[in-house]
């Protein structure tokens, strides 16, 4: 009979406190659903058997781990809010004669009911939606033959075990909390008097400096190579700066505003400034956390979205034609042998070759010394000492250039054609190329427009500056190559054959396999297929996008809920305040306005700060993205804006809901 009584009490407690329990339960259900879906994807046999599934199978566990940490932190956090709200109620039970062990039994039942509700509903939703999730993932990674979707008990047990552990630990935590408190304290729980926070000038200045330097680094980095180094420093500086400015800077700014009497004593400003000073004291660290986390989530989502959206461009740039055979020759004369092998294999596969191009080129990393003078980096490898000076140079002969680009350029001996985006060279009439001890001087005949074929320049353009040099004949190429060898630089002469075929995807992949097996003693041959490349890119970027979105949604949901709870608990604390203001003559319209501006600030301050961080980091991140893929600035910008937009809309909805609940709490009912 006794336990029935406690069970009944637990149910009525949950029902009475539904304003607090409801979001906690919703968050739980949502977490269970998301977690189950992720686990069921990982346990899916079909995915494991897919071709190239290594990529996606490596990404999913990372996503799962992040989700695990997120879920446990957020559920714990929300639980502590819930407990804070309920301390008074529990204190009352204590005073009315319930012992702490009775309360423990009651809370045990509460926890059991919450867990059952959360787990059952979460699993049902998870099972319903996991098939959808599975299909979305398959669509994202563009699999040609979708494997069968199946349910597995292992996933159910994994999810159940994980959440059982979380709820058990929260239960223990709550017990400790109650055990350590005394009833009178519990009864007064949330009403400790608050002192005005102090102004911390030094911390504000440190914060300003950190943000300033961080932004400066992000905005002035010249090249992607440098970006890799400075980005990390900039991130750390901005993180420190954000914490310092949210905690100290905000209060300093608000107090400064308060000092300006004419500004401060206005209806709108008066209440929000004084309220915010206290609000920031309690919430600054939390808001800074939210700001930094949302910045990271937004950046990772927009980056993965833009990588994903840029897949087609990347493929077009990396392998413009279906088949791409690259041979690293150690002698110009091996060309014939390579051609012969390719022709033999093509014949064996009954290939009709289309759009055939074949180009010899030599690519090298050089150092630019100004005045059109280039030096081949020394033979110890391709380390670029100073990235400002590093230039990737691609050398090809005139007749091959004319053939592949369908042009009719002419050159005299000792002249070159150049194509470059390197502004420093503009206006030069001659260039000099120093290889080892040999010095080659050329007159610049003219600058070329962007060539039809990119000669592999694009692949480097993200990282270093590039220069295409068209020399009069293949003798010049050979000469440079010889000089490089003599200088001890193992420079390869590349022979690149590209063509399209009439084959189906399957046949094309088989052909590529055979081409890859070409074995010539003096040449190392590689073959790439655009189909294969597309599949791999879709796997990697699609998988990244999927995991990014998954975590992003989880995060968004959790942040919004946390702010909701914070506001609601503050609403109860502020109830008296608003009552007084209404007694003194504040109208309900003004109450509404004050609440709206207060809640608005708490909600959107972190988001606005995140927006600024993202805007500043845009350039440096884009630089780094370009090293991975041919992301266009416009595309990346669009993706960032859309992501931010969606974030704002969902945030806005929760904001409206929160402001309404808050208003209902503080309104004096006449």
Site membership for other proteins, residue 145 (CB under 8 A): no
Q: What are phi and psi of 358, to 5 degrees?
A: -140, 125
Site membership for other proteins, residue 262 (CB under 8 A): yes
Minimum Å gap between C-beta 72 and other proteins is: 35
Answer yes or no: are the C-beta atoms of 312 and 461 closer than 8 Å: no
Q: How far apart are CA 232 and CA 212, in angstroms?
A: 15
Interacting span for other proteins (CB under 8 A) from 53-61, 73-81, 189-197, 532-540: 189-197
Which pairs with CB-CB distance under 8 Å and at least 24 residues apart come from 176-184? 177/83, 178/90, 178/100, 178/103, 178/104, 178/107, 179/100, 181/87, 181/91, 183/91, 183/94, 183/95, 184/91, 184/95
Minimum Å gap between C-beta 9 and other proteins is: 25
Pick 220 or 587: Cβ nearer other proteins: 587
Residue 561 has, within 13 A of its CA and on its CB side, a CA count of 28
Minimum Å gap between C-beta 149 and other proteins is: 53
Contacting residue, 275, 372, 472, 542, with other proteins by CB under 8 A:
275
Pick 409 or 590: Cβ nearer other proteins: 590
Contacting residue, 153, 182, 193, 437, with other proteins by CB under 8 A:
193
Q: How far apart are CA 510 and CA 501, in angstroms?
A: 12
- Does residue 199 sit in helix, strand or coil? coil
Minimum Å gap between C-beta 195 and other proteins is: 7
Answer yes or no: are the C-beta atoms of 75 and 31 closer than 8 Å: yes
Site membership for other proteins, residue 259 (CB under 8 A): no
Interacting span for other proteins (CB under 8 A) from 54-62, 227-235, 498-506, 575-583: 575-583
Q: How far apart are CA 93 and CA 79, in angstroms?
A: 20
In angstroms, the Cα distances linking 221 to 67, 421, 462, 467 are 33, 18, 14, 21
Interacting span for other proteins (CB under 8 A) from 6-14, 308-316, 337-345, 579-587: 579-587
Contacting residue, 180, 427, 589, 634, with other proteins by CB under 8 A:
589
Pick 79 or 594: Cβ nearer other proteins: 594
Pick 279 or 613: Cβ nearer other proteins: 279
Which runs of E-coded beta strand occur in 407-529? 415-420, 430-435, 438-447, 465-471, 493-500, 523-529
CA angle 365, 366, 367 (to 5 degrees): 135
Q: How many residues comprise the chain?
A: 670
Contacting residue, 14, 277, 307, 549, with other proteins by CB under 8 A:
277
Site membership for other proteins, residue 577 (CB under 8 A): yes
Interacting span for other proteins (CB under 8 A) from 113-121, 151-159, 264-272, 653-661: 264-272
Site membership for other proteins, residue 536 (CB under 8 A): no
The two tokens of residue 422 are: 């390197």
**What residues have CB less than 8 Å from 262, skipping those under 6 apart?**
none
Pick 196 or 513: Cβ nearer other proteins: 196
In angstroms, the Cα distances linking 378 to 382, 384, 467, 482, 635 are 8, 10, 19, 15, 38
Q: How far apart are CA 10 and CA 281, in angstroms?
A: 35
Minimum Å gap between C-beta 275 and other proteins is: 6
Minimum Å gap between C-beta 244 and other proteins is: 24
Contacting residue, 65, 265, 447, 524, with other proteins by CB under 8 A:
265
Contacting residue, 195, 259, 412, 423, with other proteins by CB under 8 A:
195
Q: Give the single-character DSSP code of 270.
A: H
Contacting residue, 588, 608, 641, 653, with other proteins by CB under 8 A:
588
Site membership for other proteins, residue 669 (CB under 8 A): no
**What residues have CB less than 8 Å from 495, skipping those under 6 apart?**
326, 327, 328, 329, 334, 335, 338, 358, 359, 360, 523
Q: How far apart are CA 617 and CA 218, in angstroms?
A: 6
Site membership for other proteins, residue 261 (CB under 8 A): yes
Pick 277 or 470: Cβ nearer other proteins: 277
Q: From residue 429 to residue 458, what is the string marking binding to other proteins with x (rule CB under 8 A)?
A: ------------------------------
Q: What are phi and psi of 354, to 5 degrees?
A: -125, 155
Pick 388 or 593: Cβ nearer other proteins: 593
Answer yes or no: are the C-beta atoms of 17 and 86 closer than 8 Å: yes
Contacting residue, 274, 428, 478, 500, with other proteins by CB under 8 A:
274
Site membership for other proteins, residue 270 (CB under 8 A): yes
Minimum Å gap between C-beta 602 and other proteins is: 15
Pick 537 or 666: Cβ nearer other proteins: 666
Site membership for other proteins, residue 256 (CB under 8 A): no
Q: How far apart are CA 134 and CA 152, in angstroms?
A: 14
Number of residues that bind other proteins (CB under 8 A): 27
Q: How far apart are CA 159 and CA 231, in angstroms?
A: 37
Q: Which residues bind other proteins (CB under 8 A)?
A: 193-196, 261-262, 265-267, 270, 274-275, 277-278, 577, 580-590, 670
């Amino acid at each position: 009979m006794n336990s029935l009584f406690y069970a009944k009490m637990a149910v009525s407690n949950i029902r009475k406190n539904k304003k607090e329990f409801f979001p906690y339960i919703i968050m739980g259900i949502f977490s269970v659903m998301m977690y189950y879906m992720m686990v069921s994807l990982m346990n899916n046999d079909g995915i494991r058997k897919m071709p190239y599934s290594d990529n996606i199978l490596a990404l999913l566990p990372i996503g799962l781990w992040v989700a695990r940490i997120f879920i446990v932190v957020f559920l714990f956090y929300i639980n502590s809010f819930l407990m804070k709200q309920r301390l008074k109620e529990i204190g009352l039970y204590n005073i009315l004669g319930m012992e702490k062990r009775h309360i423990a039994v009651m809370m045990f039942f509460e926890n059991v009911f919450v867990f059952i509700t959360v787990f059952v509903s979460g699993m049902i939703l998870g099972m319903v939606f996991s098939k959808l999730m599975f299909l979305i993932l398959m669509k994202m990674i563009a699999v040609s033959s979708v494997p069968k979707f199946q349910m597995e008990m292992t996933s159910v047990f994994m999810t159940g075990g994980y959440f059982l552990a979380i709820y058990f630990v929260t239960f223990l935590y709550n017990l400790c909390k109650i055990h350590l408190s005394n009833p009178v304290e519990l009864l007064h729980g949330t009403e400790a008097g608050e002192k005005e926070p102090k102004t911390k000038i030094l911390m504000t200045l440190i914060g300003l400096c950190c943000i300033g330097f961080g932004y400066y680094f992000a905005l002035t980095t010249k090249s992607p190579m440098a970006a890799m180094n400075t980005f990390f420093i900039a991130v750390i500086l901005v993180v420190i700066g954000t914490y310092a400015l949210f905690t100290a800077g905000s209060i300093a700014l608000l107090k400064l505003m308060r000092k300006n009497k004419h500004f401060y004593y206005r209806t709108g400003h008066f209440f929000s400034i004084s309220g915010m000073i206290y609000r920031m004291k309690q919430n600054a660290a939390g808001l800074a956390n939210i700001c930094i986390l949302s910045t990271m989530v937004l950046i990772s989502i927009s980056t993965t979205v833009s990588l994903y959206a840029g897949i087609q461009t990347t493929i077009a740039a990396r392998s413009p034609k279906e088949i791409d055979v690259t041979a690293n020759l150690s002698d110009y004369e091996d060309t014939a042998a390579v051609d012969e092998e390719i022709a033999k294999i093509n014949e064996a596969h009954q290939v009709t070759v289309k759009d055939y191009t074949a180009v010899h080129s030599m690519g090298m990393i050089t150092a630019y010394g100004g005045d059109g003078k280039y030096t081949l980096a020394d033979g110890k490898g391709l380390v670029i000492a100073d990235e400002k000076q590093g230039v990737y140079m691609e050398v090809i002969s005139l007749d091959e250039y004319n053939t592949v680009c369908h042009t009719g350029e002419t050159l005299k001996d000792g002249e070159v054609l150049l194509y470059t985006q390197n502004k420093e060279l503009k206006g030069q009439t001659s260039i000099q190329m120093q290889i080892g001890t040999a010095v080659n001087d050329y007159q610049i005949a003219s600058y070329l427009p962007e060539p039809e074929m990119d000669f592999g320049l694009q692949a480097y353009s993200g990282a270093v500056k590039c220069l295409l040099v068209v020399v009069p004949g293949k003798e010049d190429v050979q000469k440079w190559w010889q000089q490089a060898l003599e200088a001890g630089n193992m420079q390869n002469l590349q022979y690149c054959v590209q063509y399209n075929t009439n084959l189906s995807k399957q046949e094309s992949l088989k052909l590529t396999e055979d081409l890859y097996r070409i074995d010539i003693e003096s040449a190392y041959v590689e073959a790439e297929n655009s189909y294969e490349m597309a599949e791999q890119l879709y796997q990697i970027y699609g998988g990244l996008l999927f995991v990014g979105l998954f975590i992003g949604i989880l995060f968004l949901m959790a942040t919004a809920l946390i702010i909701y709870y914070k506001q609601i608990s503050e609403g109860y604390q502020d109830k008296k305040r608003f009552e007084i203001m209404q007694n003194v003559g504040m109208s309900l319209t003004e109450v509404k306005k004050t609440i709206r501006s207060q809640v608005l600030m708490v909600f959107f301050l972190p988001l606005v700060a995140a927006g600024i961080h993202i805007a500043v980091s845009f350039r440096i991140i884009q630089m780094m993205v370009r090293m991975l893929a041919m992301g266009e600035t416009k595309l990346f910008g669009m993706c960032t804006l859309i992501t931010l937009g969606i974030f704002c809309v969902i945030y806005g909805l929760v904001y409206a809901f929160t402001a309404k609940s808050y208003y209902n709490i503080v309104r004096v009912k006449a």
